[in-house]
Amino acid sequence: MKISTREACEIAVMSAVVFIATFVPKIPIPLGYAHLGDAAIFLVILKFGRRAGILSAVIGSALADLIGGFAIWILPTILIKSVMAEIFYRLDKVHFIMALSVSCLWMAIGYTIFGAILYGSLEVGLTSLPGLLIEGLVNLAATIFISFSAWKFFKR
């Protein structure tokens, strides 16, 4: 699997975009924070495709966990974000809103499960679920708004 210089540069820049969208607008929720990083991931997939989307999701999100002081979440984030990006990529071929909805739902469930595992309690994991669902809805709405506002840019 070769990556061209152009694609490597796109992935690097898009990883930075995902990082910034994840790291900067921090809204505290139990066990972490809500952000707009998922909207950035969805938009990267729309513009640059599957490989760039998954790699940008993993690199940018894991870097935000590392620098943000949530290093314990790096491995769960890599798994959750890569699956989220794959779900979106595959389902977007069928229905855009369904792809966003299922991807965001996976993200909320994934972080809830890993919260329960990391903190040794399902109740603790469940405390983050309402905030994660709201985060998913905000990212869904942001993706719809941005992608339809700039449809010519995101149209492949």
Structural domain count of the chain: 1
Structural domain boundaries enclosing 73: 5-154
pLDDT digits (tens, 9 = 90+) for 61-104: 999 999 999 999 999 999 999 999 999 999 999 999 999 999 99
pLDDT digits (tens, 9 = 90+) for 56-70: 999 999 999 999 999
pTM: 0.94
CB distance 59 to 20 below 8 Å = no
Burial bucket for residue 115 (CB in 10 Å: 0-12, 13-18, 19+): buried
pLDDT-above-90 percentage for the chain: 86
Give which of 87, 114, 122, 111 is closest to 101, Cα–Cα. 87
Domain at 38, CATH number: 1.10.1760.20
Helix (H) or strand (E) holding 32, with range, is: strand 32-34
